[in-house]
Amino acid sequence: MSLRLQTEHLQRKWLFTTDHRAIGIAYLLLSLVAVAVGTVLSIFMRIHLIAPDLKLPFWGVVPPEGYLALVTMHGTLMVFFVLTTAPVNGFASLILPAQIGARRMALPLLNALSLWLTLISFGVLLAAFFVRGGAPISGWTNYPPLSAIAAAGPGQAAGMDLWLVSIGIFCLASVLSAINLLTTIISKRCEGMTLMRMPLTVWAWLVTAVLILFAFSILLAAVVLLLSDRHLATSFFVPPGEVIDGLLVAPQANGSPMLWLHLFWFFGHPEVYIAVLPAMGLTSSLLANFTRRPVFGYRFMVATTLAIGFFGLLVWGHHMFVSGMNPYAGTAFALTTMAIAVPSSASVLGWLLMLLRGRDSRVHPLPTAMLFTLGFLSFFIAGGLTGPILAQPVLDAYLHNTYFVVAHFHLIMAMAGMFSLFAAVYYWFPLMTGRLMNERLGKWHFWLSLIGAYATFFPMHFAGLAGQPRHYAQLTGSTSTLGSLLPLQTGITHSALFLATAQLLFLVNLVWSARHGRVAGVNPWQATTMEWALIDSDCKVVRGPYEYRFHTNLPDFILQCADEAEQE
């Protein structure tokens, strides 16, 4: 097996390939397109917020429903097509089989089918911009009755239907992909690869796949029920006495919007762990690689991964403290949410302790992948620390749906997640193309992004404390009392533009390095995990996954049992 990915495979068979590496690359390309579109949408949002009368491409002067459509589609694209697709489907397809010593996935057809469904879902979602009424305006969470009744707003007719169909297809795709991942991890590990020898990335994908299986099935059910409400005259979510624009809609209705909130957030909270757990696994792996030390407490890290996955299913009510839920239930969810802070903090402490053991003088300067891992750590801490505030119902009663929450999830999910994805790309680029990415461009990319991201999202905490709610299309206007926050928001917009522009460095680096980057050796990072091994015959695993510097006389090893003579 040559190190260089057989992209000819991809080109020859187009997307009908079942080769997991080609499928992984296809997923990553999809995520790249999605993140570009999502970023452009967010830039439009930010510009409109501070300059509501400015004309923008496609919209002209953005009407209020245009702004809300931008918000909705930005959130949907980023959460689903970037933060679920890339870390789970993209990188798992690419890397997972090799890391457990398998030659291919357990159910390759399922993997290919999942890719196809994701692509179709993406197309359907984007089509929402171009139908009559435009894209939906109810936010990525789409609370009914706003999302259940077409007359409740522009974009809630055809646009909302397209959103629902798209996400329904995405749910199917995700579940199929999760089935494939779980079957592969359980049944295709090579000889000697016990569960306790799997790299932490594989553990993360395992727990993530279980979460996907549970969460996306529930979302699919919710989507089906909402479509039924919209088109089959049922009333799962439409309450009695529902009046829109003075008209009593659905006189027979007898539903509850709270049902949607429970179903959606039962999916919605595990979704954010789906987005972040693979990043956490990767961080452990990369920190071990670049500090040249084993992971601090491997079994402990596995335990925190499992704990976060398990608790992640029990905390959904913390999105609903002021939604109309029973205050006693609020207390229960507050306790479980605060409890999940413990394994998360344990992970962070583990990582910090890995770093504190000192820097290897041979690894200098730090490679870009390591820089982005440190960036992940920084954002995870920054965003994670505001979690405990939001976990307290009495404080969340003030901060819910303000910019404080926006700051929280952008720091911990968007920026930490994105930085981890960047680290993964810089790290595994040699596996995709046989070349290394340019280090200088990479470092510029890192520092500019770090500064830009903090400058963009940190001040949002203050806007939130000042009481600025989310989804506001403008801060000025006859009824608005938020005009004093305009300077703050202007600063944020400028930082966002800076951040978005800095990503061009990444794109340039990607394209240039694919052709002209320095040719990488077999194992350029001197890693111990098996995706870097040349597996020509059946491998047999005899060591743990992170045994760097384990023996005094030999540098480091790969999991695979190479003959003694082959060891470097």
Partner 1 sequence: MPATFTRTPAEIDRKDTGIGGKPPVDRRPTGGGGGDDNWDNHPQGRRGPRELLTRYRLGLFFALAGDLMFFIALVSAFFVRQNAGHFDPRDNYVSDWHPLAVPPILWINTAILLLSSATIEAARQHLFHEVDVMEEWLGLGRPAVRRASPWLVGTVILGVMFLAGQWIAWQQLASQGMFFGTNENSHFFYLITATHGIHLVLGILALAVALCALFLLRRVEMRQIVVDCTAWYWHTMGFFWIFLFVLLTCFQ
Partner 2 sequence: MRDDHVWWMPPNGALHGVAIDRLMWWNLVALSALFVLAHIFLFAAMIRQKKSASQIADFSWKREAIPLAALTLVYAWMAISAQRLWATIRYQGAAPNALQVEVTGMQFQWYFRYPGQDAAFGLTRPELINAPAGNPLGVDRTDPRSADDIVSSILVLPAGREVDLGIQAVDVIHGFFIPGMRLKQNAVPGMQMHIHFTPSVAGDYPILCSQVCGTGHARMQSHLHVVSESEYQAWLASHEPHQTPGAAR
Non-local CB neighbours of 325 within 8 Å, separated by 6+ positions:
258, 261, 317
332 binds partner 2, rule: CB under 8 A: no
Q: Which is nearer to partner 2, 56 or 389 (CB)?
A: 389
154 binds partner 2, rule: CB under 8 A: yes
- Provide the minimum distance between the beta carbon of 561 and partner 1 in the complex, in angstroms, as a whole number: 9
Q: Which amino acid is at 283?
A: T
Q: Which amino acid is at 311?
A: F
Is 404 strand, coil or helix?
helix
Q: Which is nearer to partner 1, 479 or 537 (CB)?
A: 537
By rule CB under 8 A, what count of residues binds partner 2?
Answer: 100
182 binds partner 1, rule: CB under 8 A: yes
Among partner 1, partner 2, none, what binds residue 228 when CB lies within 5 to 8 Å by partner kind? partner 1
- Provide the minimum distance between the beta carbon of 428 and partner 2 in the complex, in angstroms, as a whole number: 23
Q: Which is nearer to partner 1, 476 or 567 (CB)?
A: 567
Taking the CB of residue 314, how many other CB atoms lie within 10 A of it?
17
Instruction: Estimate the crossing angle of helix 108-127 against helix 158-187, to 10 degrees.
Output: 160
Q: Which of 11, 254, 331, 501 binds partner 1 (CB under 8 A)?
A: 254
Q: Which of 14, 58, 132, 194 binds partner 1 (CB under 8 A)?
A: 194
243-282 binders of partner 2 (CB under 8 A): 243-246, 248, 255-258
Which of 285, 200, 352 lies closest to 527 in space, CA to CA? 285
63 binds partner 2, rule: CB under 8 A: yes
175 binds partner 1, rule: CB under 8 A: yes
Among partner 1, partner 2, none, what binds residue 146 when CB lies within 5 to 8 Å by partner kind? partner 2
Among partner 1, partner 2, none, what binds residue 466 when CB lies within 5 to 8 Å by partner kind? partner 2
Burial of 495 (0-12, 13-18, 19+ CB in 10 A): buried
**Chain centroid offset of residue 342 CA:** 22
What number of CA atoms fall less than 13 Å from residue 432's CA on the CB side? 28
Distance separating alpha carbons of residues 545 and 543, to the nearest angstrom: 6
Q: Which of 151, 195, 397, 504 binds partner 1 (CB under 8 A)?
A: 195
First to last CA, the chain: 20
How many angstroms separate the Cα of 216 from the Cα of each of 93, 128, 222, 270, 441? 19, 22, 10, 9, 38
Residue holding tokens 């030390």?
293
Are 198 and 110 spatial neighbours (Cβ–Cβ below 8 Å)? no
Non-local CB neighbours of 487 within 8 Å, separated by 6+ positions:
none
Q: Which stretch binds partner 2 (CB under 8 A): 24-32, 85-93, 145-153, 529-537?
A: 145-153
Which of 232, 183, 230 lies closest to 210 in space, CA to CA? 183
252 binds partner 1, rule: CB under 8 A: yes
338 binds partner 2, rule: CB under 8 A: yes
567 binds partner 2, rule: CB under 8 A: no
Are 311 and 343 spatial neighbours (Cβ–Cβ below 8 Å)? yes
466 binds partner 2, rule: CB under 8 A: yes
551 binds partner 1, rule: CB under 8 A: yes
68-127 binders of partner 2 (CB under 8 A): 68, 71
476-505 binders of partner 2 (CB under 8 A): 477-482
**What sections of 54-157 are H helices per DSSP?**
64-76, 91-99, 108-127
Distance separating alpha carbons of residues 291 and 362, to the nearest angstrom: 10
By rule CB under 8 A, what count of residues binds partner 1?
Answer: 64
Distance separating alpha carbons of residues 124 and 118, to the nearest angstrom: 10
Specify which residues 519 forms β-bridges with: 435
278-337 binders of partner 1 (CB under 8 A): 294-295, 297-299
- Provide the minimum distance between the beta carbon of 101 and partner 2 in the complex, in angstroms, as a whole number: 23
368-387 binders of partner 2 (CB under 8 A): 374, 377-378, 381-382, 385-386
Phi and psi for 148 in degrees, rounded to 5?
A: -95, -20
Q: Which is nearer to partner 1, 110 or 405 (CB)?
A: 110
- Provide the minimum distance between the beta carbon of 143 and partner 1 in the complex, in angstroms, as a whole number: 16
Asked if the peptide bond before residue 388 counts as cis, ω within 30 degrees of 0, the response is no
Instruction: Estimate the crossing angle of helix 298-312 against helix 257-291, to 10 degrees.
Output: 170
- Provide the minimum distance between the beta carbon of 312 and partner 1 in the complex, in angstroms, as a whole number: 15
Q: Which of 87, 133, 393, 524 binds partner 2 (CB under 8 A)?
A: 393
110-169 binders of partner 1 (CB under 8 A): 110
- Provide the minimum distance between the beta carbon of 232 and partner 1 in the complex, in angstroms, as a whole number: 6
Are 405 and 318 spatial neighbours (Cβ–Cβ below 8 Å)? no
Is 458 strand, coil or helix?
coil
Q: Which of 4, 9, 262, 471 binds partner 2 (CB under 8 A)?
A: 471
Q: Which of 3, 33, 113, 366 binds partner 2 (CB under 8 A)?
A: 366
Distance separating alpha carbons of residues 356 and 337, to the nearest angstrom: 29
Are 376 and 420 spatial neighbours (Cβ–Cβ below 8 Å)? yes
- Provide the minimum distance between the beta carbon of 227 and partner 1 in the complex, in angstroms, as a whole number: 11
224 binds partner 2, rule: CB under 8 A: no
Asked if the peptide bond before residue 365 counts as cis, ω within 30 degrees of 0, the response is yes
Token code pair at residue 320: 């609903």
88 binds partner 1, rule: CB under 8 A: no
Q: Which of 213, 451, 465, 482 binds partner 1 (CB under 8 A)?
A: 213
545 binds partner 2, rule: CB under 8 A: no
470 binds partner 2, rule: CB under 8 A: yes
Q: Which stretch binds partner 1 (CB under 8 A): 30-38, 143-151, 175-183, 485-493?
A: 175-183
Taking the CB of residue 549, how many other CB atoms lie within 10 A of it?
14
546 binds partner 1, rule: CB under 8 A: yes
Binding site for partner 1 (CB under 8 A): 101-103, 106-107, 110, 175-176, 178-180, 182-183, 186-192, 194-197, 213-214, 216-218, 220-222, 225, 228, 232-236, 240, 252, 254-256, 259, 262-263, 266, 294-295, 297-299, 538, 540, 542-547, 550-551, 564
